Amino acid sequence: MTSVKFFCVNLQPSMSDMETYYADVLLPLHLPDTYTYRIPRELVGEVKVGVRVVVQFGQKRMYSAVVRRIHSVAPKWQCKYVIEVLDSEPVVSLRQMEFWEWMAGYYMCCVGDVMAVALPAGLKLASESTVSIHPDFDGELTRLSKYERLVVDLLTQHPVMKLDDISRALGIQKIMPLMHTMIERSVVIMDEELRQRFVPKKSTFVKLATPYATEESQRALLEELERKRSTRQVELLLLLLQKSHFGREAVAKRDLPQGSALQTLLKRGVLEQEERVISRIASGEATATVESIQLNAEQQAAFDYLSHGSDKSINLLHGVTSSGKTEVYIKLIADQVAQGAQTLFLLPEIALTAQAINRLRRYFGDLVGVYHSRFSASQRVEVWQGAASGRYKVLLGARSALFLPFQKLSLIIVDEEHDTSYKQHEPAPRYHARDSALYLASLWGARTVLGSATPSIESYHHATNGKYGLVKMQHRYGGHEMPTVECVDMKAAAQNKELKGPFSKVLLTAISEALANKEQAILFQNRRGFSLRLECDECHHVPQCINCDVSLVYHKSSGTLRCHYCGYSIPVPAECPACQSTRMRMTGIGTERVEEDLQIMLPEARVARMDIDSTQQKNQYLELLSDFADRKIDILVGTQMVTKGLDFGNVSVVGVVSADNAINFPNFRSYERAFQQLTQVSGRAGRRGGGGQVLIQTYNPNHHVLELVKQGDYESLFAEQDTERRVFRYPPYYRLIELTLKHREQEVLNAAAEWMAMQMRGAFGNRVMGPEYPLVSRVRGLYLKAITVRFERNEAIAQAKKLMMRMADDMNMQPGWKKVLTLFDVDPT
Ligand code: ADP
Ligand code: ZN
Ligand code: ZN
Looking at the predicted structure, is the pLDDT value of residue 148 above 80?
A: yes
**DSSP E strand stretches across 463-556:** 469-473, 484-489, 499-500, 503-504, 520-524, 531-536, 553-555
Instruction: Return the ligand number nearest the Cα of 580.
Output: 2
Tell me the percentage of the chain whose pLDDT exceeds 70: 94
- Ligand 1 atom, smallest distance to 299 CA: 23
Is residue 612 a contact partner of residue 650, using CB atoms and an 8 Å limit?
A: no
- From the CA of 291, the nearest ligand is 1
Nearest ligand by distance to the CA of 779: 3
Ion ligand 2 residues within 5 Å by Cβ: 536, 538-539, 541, 576, 578-579, 581
How many angstroms separate the alpha carbon of residue 534 from the centre of ligand 2?
Answer: 10
Confidence of residue 377 (pLDDT cuts 50, 70, 90): low
Best of 327, 471, 474 for a ligand 1 pocket test (most atoms within 8 Å of beta carbon)? 327
Distance 636 CA to ligand 3 centre (A): 29
pLDDT at 150 over 60: yes
What per-residue confidence (pLDDT) applies to 614?
A: 79
Q: Tell me what pLDDT residue 189 has.
A: 78
**Average pLDDT, integer, range 295-302:** 96
User: Is-contact 428 113, C-beta < 8 A?
Assistant: yes
Looking at the CA of residue 329, tell me the nearest atom of ligand 1: 6
Mean pLDDT of 508-525: 94
Determine phi and psi for 417, rounding to 5 degrees: -60, -20
Q: Are 350 and 615 in contact (CB under 8 A)?
A: no
Nearest atom in ligand 1 to 649's CA: 14
Instruction: Please give the distance, rounded to the nearest whole angstrom, from the Cα atom of residue 546 to the centre of ligand 2.
Output: 18
Phi then psi for 618, rounded to 5 degrees?
-60, -30
The CA 547 to ligand 2 mean position distance, Å, reads 21
Query: Can you tell me the distance from the alpha carbon of 110 to that of 142, in angstroms, rounded to the nearest whole number?
Result: 45
Q: Which residues surround ligand 3, an ion (CB under 5 A)?
A: 545, 547-548, 563, 565-566, 568
| Residue 56, pLDDT score | 85
Asked if residue 695 lies in contact with residue 654, where contact means CB atoms within 8 angstroms, the answer is yes
**Per-residue model confidence as pLDDT tens digits over 482-503:** 889 999 999 999 999 999 989 9
Q: Average pLDDT of 667-684?
A: 91
Segment (H or E) for 493: helix 490-495
Rounded to an integer, the average pLDDT of 668-686 is 91
Q: Write the CA distances from 113 to 145, 244, 401, 438, 703, integer angstroms.
A: 36, 48, 16, 20, 43
The predicted structure's pLDDT at residue 156: 83
Query: Cα(540) to centroid of ligand 2, in Å?
Result: 6
Ligand showing the shortest atom-to-Cα distance for residue 687: 1
Nearest to 678 by CA among 699, 700, 663: 663
∠ CA 243-247-249, rounded to 5° = 70
pTM of the model: 0.82
Tens of pLDDT, residues 155-181: 888 878 888 889 888 888 778 888 888
Residue 47 in this model has a pLDDT that exceeds 90: yes
In the chain the first and final C-alpha atoms are separated, in Å, by 48
Which residue lies with its CA nearest to atom 20 of ligand 1? Answer: 324
Show contacts of 145-150: CB within 8 Å, 24+ apart.
147/172, 147/178, 148/178, 148/181, 148/182, 148/187
Q: Closest by alpha carbon to 358, among 273, 283, 462, 254? A: 283
User: What distance in Å separates the CA atoms of residue 343 and residue 396, rounded to the nearest whole number?
Assistant: 8
* 475 half-sphere exposure, CB direction, 13 A CA radius: 13
- Mutate which of 293, 303, 318, 322 for ligand 1? The one with the most ligand atoms within 8 Å of its CB, which is 322
Ligand 1 binding site (Cβ under 6 Å of any ligand atom): 293-296, 299, 319, 321-327, 477, 647, 687
Ligand 1 centroid – CA 322 distance (Å): 6
Choose among 581, 598, 635: nearest CA to 500. 598
Q: Report, as an integer, the average pLDDT of 341-346.
A: 97
Q: Please name the residue ranges forming H helices in 566-669.
A: 591-601, 620-629, 660-664
Question: Among the atoms of ligand 1, which is closest to the Cα of residue 473?
Answer: 3
Ligand number nearest CA of 541 is 2
Locate all alpha helices (DSSP H) within 728-813, ordered by sequence: 746-764, 798-813
- DSSP assignment of 216-233: HHHHHHHHHHHHTT-HHH
pLDDT bin (cut points 50, 70, 90) of residue 354 is confident
Residue 200: pLDDT band by 50, 70, 90 thresholds? Answer: very low
For residue 345, report the distance from its CA to the centre of ligand 1, in Å.
17
SS3 400: helix
The pLDDT tens digits of the residues spanning 725-782 come to 999 999 999 999 999 999 999 999 999 999 999 999 999 999 999 899 988 899 999 9
pLDDT of residue 278: 52
Query: Which ligand has the minimum distance to the alpha carbon of residue 295?
Result: 1
Nearest to 321 by CA among 24, 687, 745, 39: 687
Q: What is the mean pLDDT of residues 295-317?
A: 97
- Kindly state the average pLDDT of the residues 505-512: 95
416: left (phi over 0), alpha (psi -120 to 50) or beta: left
Q: Kindly tell me if the per-residue pLDDT of 11 is higher than 50.
A: no
Instruction: Say which range, 80-94, 124-138, 216-230, 574-588, has the weakest mean pLDDT.
Output: 124-138
pLDDT at 188: 83
pLDDT over 70 at 611, yes or no:
yes
By alpha-carbon position, which residue is closest to atom 23 of ligand 1?
Answer: 295
- Lowest mean pLDDT segment, chosen from 310-314, 423-427, 740-744: 423-427
Q: Which of 295, 475, 477, 688 to mutate to test the pocket of ligand 1 (most atoms within 8 A of CB)?
A: 477
Residue 198 pLDDT? 37
Three-class secondary structure of residue 18 per DSSP: coil
Q: What is the mean pLDDT of residues 512-530?
A: 92
Contact 313, 468 (CB under 8 A): no
Contact in structure between 380 and 120 (CB atoms under 8 Å): yes
pLDDT (tens digit per residue) in 58-110: 776 778 899 999 999 998 888 899 988 888 889 899 999 999 999 999 999 99
Q: Is the pLDDT of residue 256 over 90?
A: no
Reported as a single tens digit per residue, the pLDDT across 792-811 is: 988 889 999 999 999 999 99
Indicate if the pLDDT at residue 127 is higher than 60: yes
Q: What angle do CA 243, 246, 249 make, to 5 degrees?
A: 65
Confidence of residue 231 (pLDDT cuts 50, 70, 90): confident
Maximum distance among all alpha carbons in the chain? Answer: 98
